Amino acid sequence: MEPRGRLVVMISGFGSNLQAILDACREGRLWAEVVLVVSNRKDAYGLIRAARAGVPTLYFPLRPYRERGLDRIAYDRDLADQIASYRPDLIVLAGWMHILSSAFLDRFPGRVINLHPALPGMFPGRDAIRRAFEAYRRGEISCSGCMVHYVTPEVDVGPVLVQAVVPLYPEDTLERFEARMHEAEHRILLEGIQRALERIRTVSS
Protein backbone atom coordinates (compact mmCIF):
# COMPACT_ATOMS: atom_id res chain seq x y z
CA MET A 1 0.00 0.00 0.00
CA GLU A 2 1.13 3.56 -0.75
CA PRO A 3 2.53 5.45 2.24
CA ARG A 4 0.20 8.12 3.57
CA GLY A 5 0.59 11.52 1.90
CA ARG A 6 2.44 13.97 4.12
CA LEU A 7 0.44 17.18 4.41
CA VAL A 8 1.47 20.56 5.74
CA VAL A 9 -1.64 22.67 6.35
CA MET A 10 -1.33 26.45 6.55
CA ILE A 11 -4.00 28.46 8.35
CA SER A 12 -4.66 31.91 9.76
CA GLY A 13 -7.90 31.51 11.65
CA PHE A 14 -10.72 29.27 12.76
CA GLY A 15 -9.46 26.14 11.02
CA SER A 16 -12.73 24.39 10.21
CA ASN A 17 -11.17 23.18 6.97
CA LEU A 18 -8.13 21.96 8.85
CA GLN A 19 -10.53 20.05 11.11
CA ALA A 20 -12.17 18.45 8.07
CA ILE A 21 -8.72 17.26 6.95
CA LEU A 22 -7.76 15.99 10.42
CA ASP A 23 -11.06 14.10 10.76
CA ALA A 24 -10.77 12.56 7.29
CA CYS A 25 -7.21 11.40 7.99
CA ARG A 26 -8.19 9.93 11.35
CA GLU A 27 -11.18 8.13 9.91
CA GLY A 28 -9.23 6.78 6.94
CA ARG A 29 -11.32 8.70 4.37
CA LEU A 30 -8.15 10.42 3.24
CA TRP A 31 -4.95 8.42 2.88
CA ALA A 32 -2.77 11.13 4.35
CA GLU A 33 -1.41 12.54 7.60
CA VAL A 34 -0.98 16.13 8.69
CA VAL A 35 2.69 16.43 9.67
CA LEU A 36 2.63 20.16 10.47
CA VAL A 37 0.16 23.02 10.88
CA VAL A 38 1.54 26.50 10.22
CA SER A 39 -0.13 29.72 11.28
CA ASN A 40 0.94 33.33 10.78
CA ARG A 41 -1.44 34.36 13.58
CA LYS A 42 -0.86 33.42 17.18
CA ASP A 43 -4.54 33.44 18.13
CA ALA A 44 -5.65 31.20 15.24
CA TYR A 45 -8.07 28.65 16.70
CA GLY A 46 -6.75 26.14 14.19
CA LEU A 47 -3.57 25.90 16.28
CA ILE A 48 -5.65 24.54 19.14
CA ARG A 49 -7.31 22.05 16.81
CA ALA A 50 -3.86 20.87 15.67
CA ALA A 51 -2.55 20.54 19.21
CA ARG A 52 -5.64 18.53 20.19
CA ALA A 53 -4.96 16.18 17.31
CA GLY A 54 -1.34 15.82 18.41
CA VAL A 55 0.00 17.52 15.28
CA PRO A 56 3.13 19.72 15.50
CA THR A 57 2.47 23.43 15.02
CA LEU A 58 4.57 26.33 13.82
CA TYR A 59 3.61 29.93 14.52
CA PHE A 60 5.47 31.99 11.95
CA PRO A 61 4.62 35.72 11.95
CA LEU A 62 5.71 38.30 9.40
CA ARG A 63 6.01 41.14 11.91
CA PRO A 64 9.55 40.36 13.24
CA TYR A 65 10.77 40.45 9.64
CA ARG A 66 9.20 43.85 9.06
CA GLU A 67 10.62 45.15 12.35
CA ARG A 68 14.10 44.09 11.25
CA GLY A 69 13.61 45.83 7.91
CA LEU A 70 13.45 42.50 6.05
CA ASP A 71 11.05 41.97 3.19
CA ARG A 72 8.46 39.30 2.41
CA ILE A 73 10.95 37.42 0.29
CA ALA A 74 13.13 36.77 3.35
CA TYR A 75 10.03 35.65 5.25
CA ASP A 76 8.91 33.36 2.43
CA ARG A 77 12.38 31.85 2.08
CA ASP A 78 12.69 31.06 5.80
CA LEU A 79 9.14 29.73 5.92
CA ALA A 80 9.93 27.41 3.00
CA ASP A 81 13.04 26.18 4.85
CA GLN A 82 11.04 25.35 7.95
CA ILE A 83 8.35 23.56 5.99
CA ALA A 84 10.79 21.67 3.77
CA SER A 85 12.30 20.06 6.88
CA TYR A 86 8.96 18.23 7.34
CA ARG A 87 9.29 16.70 3.83
CA PRO A 88 5.71 17.48 2.73
CA ASP A 89 4.15 15.79 -0.27
CA LEU A 90 1.56 18.53 -0.41
CA ILE A 91 1.07 21.95 1.16
CA VAL A 92 -2.54 22.94 1.70
CA LEU A 93 -3.52 26.59 2.19
CA ALA A 94 -6.76 26.38 4.17
CA GLY A 95 -7.64 29.91 5.16
CA TRP A 96 -4.02 31.10 4.99
CA MET A 97 -4.04 34.90 4.74
CA HIS A 98 -0.62 35.78 3.39
CA ILE A 99 0.29 35.93 -0.28
CA LEU A 100 3.17 33.57 -1.00
CA SER A 101 5.79 34.72 -3.50
CA SER A 102 7.90 32.66 -5.88
CA ALA A 103 10.57 32.55 -3.17
CA PHE A 104 8.25 30.10 -1.43
CA LEU A 105 6.34 28.53 -4.32
CA ASP A 106 9.39 27.63 -6.41
CA ARG A 107 10.59 25.40 -3.60
CA PHE A 108 7.50 23.18 -3.93
CA PRO A 109 6.51 23.07 -7.60
CA GLY A 110 3.08 21.49 -8.15
CA ARG A 111 2.76 20.90 -4.42
CA VAL A 112 0.91 23.93 -3.08
CA ILE A 113 -2.88 24.09 -3.30
CA ASN A 114 -5.37 26.65 -2.02
CA LEU A 115 -9.03 26.65 -1.10
CA HIS A 116 -10.99 29.73 -2.17
CA PRO A 117 -14.67 30.42 -1.50
CA ALA A 118 -15.57 31.57 -5.02
CA LEU A 119 -15.67 30.12 -8.51
CA PRO A 120 -12.69 30.60 -10.87
CA GLY A 121 -12.31 34.21 -11.90
CA MET A 122 -14.92 35.47 -9.40
CA PHE A 123 -14.19 37.43 -6.23
CA PRO A 124 -10.45 36.90 -5.72
CA GLY A 125 -9.01 38.12 -2.43
CA ARG A 126 -10.59 38.71 0.94
CA ASP A 127 -14.25 38.53 1.94
CA ALA A 128 -15.27 36.56 -1.13
CA ILE A 129 -18.33 35.04 0.58
CA ARG A 130 -19.74 38.40 1.67
CA ARG A 131 -18.97 39.98 -1.69
CA ALA A 132 -20.76 37.15 -3.52
CA PHE A 133 -23.76 37.48 -1.21
CA GLU A 134 -23.96 41.21 -1.87
CA ALA A 135 -23.58 40.71 -5.62
CA TYR A 136 -26.49 38.23 -5.49
CA ARG A 137 -28.60 40.76 -3.61
CA ARG A 138 -27.87 43.31 -6.34
CA GLY A 139 -28.97 40.75 -8.94
CA GLU A 140 -25.49 40.46 -10.48
CA ILE A 141 -25.03 36.72 -9.95
CA SER A 142 -27.39 33.80 -9.43
CA CYS A 143 -24.96 31.43 -7.69
CA SER A 144 -21.47 31.28 -6.31
CA GLY A 145 -19.18 28.42 -5.38
CA CYS A 146 -15.76 27.39 -4.22
CA MET A 147 -12.65 25.85 -5.69
CA VAL A 148 -9.38 24.14 -4.89
CA HIS A 149 -6.58 25.26 -7.17
CA TYR A 150 -2.83 25.13 -7.53
CA VAL A 151 -1.19 28.25 -6.16
CA THR A 152 0.60 30.75 -8.37
CA PRO A 153 2.03 34.11 -7.26
CA GLU A 154 -1.26 35.75 -8.39
CA VAL A 155 -4.01 35.76 -5.77
CA ASP A 156 -6.73 33.08 -6.00
CA VAL A 157 -5.99 32.02 -9.56
CA GLY A 158 -4.16 28.97 -10.88
CA PRO A 159 -5.12 25.61 -12.40
CA VAL A 160 -8.30 24.32 -10.79
CA LEU A 161 -8.41 20.85 -9.22
CA VAL A 162 -12.03 20.80 -8.04
CA GLN A 163 -14.87 23.28 -7.97
CA ALA A 164 -18.43 23.21 -6.68
CA VAL A 165 -21.37 25.49 -7.31
CA VAL A 166 -23.05 26.83 -4.17
CA PRO A 167 -26.53 28.19 -4.88
CA LEU A 168 -27.96 31.36 -3.40
CA TYR A 169 -31.64 31.66 -2.48
CA PRO A 170 -33.88 34.70 -2.01
CA GLU A 171 -34.50 33.78 1.64
CA ASP A 172 -30.76 33.43 2.38
CA THR A 173 -29.00 35.35 5.11
CA LEU A 174 -25.25 35.80 4.88
CA GLU A 175 -24.89 33.29 7.72
CA ARG A 176 -26.93 30.61 5.94
CA PHE A 177 -25.07 31.09 2.70
CA GLU A 178 -21.77 31.01 4.57
CA ALA A 179 -22.70 27.74 6.30
CA ARG A 180 -23.57 26.15 2.93
CA MET A 181 -20.32 27.44 1.47
CA HIS A 182 -18.25 25.94 4.28
CA GLU A 183 -19.99 22.61 3.90
CA ALA A 184 -19.06 22.58 0.20
CA GLU A 185 -15.51 23.71 1.00
CA HIS A 186 -14.94 20.89 3.47
CA ARG A 187 -16.05 18.40 0.81
CA ILE A 188 -14.06 19.71 -2.16
CA LEU A 189 -10.94 20.30 -0.10
CA LEU A 190 -10.66 16.57 0.63
CA GLU A 191 -11.27 15.78 -3.03
CA GLY A 192 -8.66 18.34 -4.10
CA ILE A 193 -6.06 16.91 -1.73
CA GLN A 194 -6.75 13.41 -2.98
CA ARG A 195 -6.42 14.45 -6.62
CA ALA A 196 -3.23 16.45 -6.02
CA LEU A 197 -1.65 13.53 -4.15
CA GLU A 198 -2.59 11.15 -6.97
CA ARG A 199 -0.97 13.45 -9.52
CA ILE A 200 2.20 13.72 -7.45
CA ARG A 201 2.34 9.92 -7.15
CA THR A 202 1.82 9.50 -10.90
CA VAL A 203 4.54 12.03 -11.73
CA SER A 204 7.06 10.53 -9.33
CA SER A 205 6.41 6.83 -10.17
Task: Kindly state the smallest distance separating residue 132's Cβ from ligand GRF, in Å.
Answer: 11
Q: What is the 3-state secondary structure (H, E, C) of the chain?
A: CCCCEEEEEEECCCCHHHHHHHHHHHCCCCCEEEEEEEECCCCCHHHHHHHHCCCCEEECCCHHHHHCCCCHHHHHHHHHHHHHCCCCCEEEECCCCCCCCHHHHCCCCCCEEEEECCCCCCCCCCCHHHHHHHHHHCCCCCEEEEEEEECCCCCCCCCEEEEEEEECCCCCCHHHHHHHHHHHHHHHHHHHHHHHHHHHHHHHC
Decide if 116 is catalytic: yes
Q: Which residues contact 66 (CB under 8 A, 6 or more apart)?
A: none
Looking at the Cβ atoms of 70 and 135, the one nearer to ligand GRF is 135
Task: Kindly state the smallest distance separating residue 109's Cβ from ligand GRF, in Å.
Answer: 22
Choose, from 116, 149, 182, 186, the residue flagged as catalytic.
Answer: 116
Looking at the Cβ atoms of 14 and 86, the one nearer to ligand GRF is 14
Looking at the Cβ atoms of 104 and 123, the one nearer to ligand GRF is 123
Task: Kindly state the smallest distance separating residue 59's Cβ from ligand GRF, in Å.
Answer: 15
Residue nearest to ligand GRF (CB): 95
Q: Which residues contact 59 (CB under 8 A, 6 or more apart)?
A: 38, 39, 40, 41, 42, 47
Q: Name the residues that contact ligand GRF, by CB under 6 A.
A: 11, 13-18, 94-95, 115-117, 185
Task: Kindly state the smallest distance separating residue 45's Cβ from ligand GRF, in Å.
Answer: 8
Query: Measured between alpha carbons, how far is 148 from 157 in angstroms, rounded to an integer?
Result: 10
Looking at the Cβ atoms of 22 and 197, the one nearer to ligand GRF is 22
Task: Kindly state the smallest distance separating residue 156's Cβ from ligand GRF, in Å.
Answer: 8
Looking at the Cβ atoms of 33 and 178, the one nearer to ligand GRF is 178
Residues labelled catalytic: 116
